Amino acid sequence: MKPAKVGQNVIIEDNVTFSDGVIIGNNVIIYNGTHIGERVIIQDNVVINKRPTRAKNSALQRSEDLVSTVIGNDCILGTSSIIYAGVVLEDEVFVADLVSIREKVRVGAGTIVGRGVAIENECVIGKKCKLETNCYITAYSILGDYVFIAPCVVTTNDNYLARTRERFEHFKGITVKNGGRIGANSTILPGRIIEEDGTVGAGSVVTKDVRREELVLGSPARKIKDVPVNQLLRNQ
């Protein structure tokens, strides 16, 4: 099946499959083996199913077993976004302009990925999450459902700051469980877990796990109080 509309200077390689109602803008590249669901909108300059190119001294493993990228029904891919190989976007994912989603990432249905967001390789993002402008999700992170990440949040996965070979055994992203929220400009250190409905105030540095339904703030972040009952996910 062919797309409903195709712009100018579009490159579509072999074995790309389309469902009904797909719209493609200008200067789009879709690499071999991609599957595009129904009513997907692909705006100008998007690249889909890009194979990763690594620096010679990259700490990340090579991905020889990458599978094709799958774009679910009713997704929107914003201008100049790049979707790498092995990515699965479930139905109704919104990807804003200038987003980078690296290889082996899964994004749950109805999630919003804001402008300029970077999601590194081998992350799992749940359904109905909101990742706001210019936040950074480090490799090997797990975000549950209904997670909120505010603008310019930075997550990390390397406690050794690129020194000593020991670091290769300890790479670990962050975990944010269902309903977790992180305020603007916060930094989350490697391996930290934010439990269900745990909330991090703006500008915090999280050095320890955040317990269920508690609000932490500061550098280092400490518990300030419990999250108000009317803000808990179960009460929405």
Enumerate domains of the chain plus CATH numbers: 5-51+66-235 (2.160.10.10)
Tokens encoding 59: 């700490």
Check residue 90 and give its pLDDT.
Answer: 98
Mean pLDDT of 122-130: 98
| Residue 210 DSSP code | B
Q: Does 158 have pLDDT greater than 90?
A: no
Of 5-19, 60-74, 93-107, 192-206, where does mean pLDDT reach its minimum?
Answer: 60-74
pLDDT above 70: percentage of residues in the chain: 93
The percent of residues in the chain predicted with pLDDT above 90, rounded, is 86
Tell me, rounded to whole angstroms, the distance of Cα 104 from its chain centroid.
Answer: 11
Evaluate whether 178 touches 194 at the Cβ level (below 8 Å): no
Closest among 137, 36, 136, 43 to 91, alpha carbons compared: 36
Q: Which 3 state secondary structure label does DSSP give 84?
A: strand
Kindly indicate the confidence band of residue 56, based on its pLDDT and cuts at 50, 70 and 90: low
Residue 62: pLDDT over 70: no
Asked if residue 63 has pLDDT above 70, the reply is: no
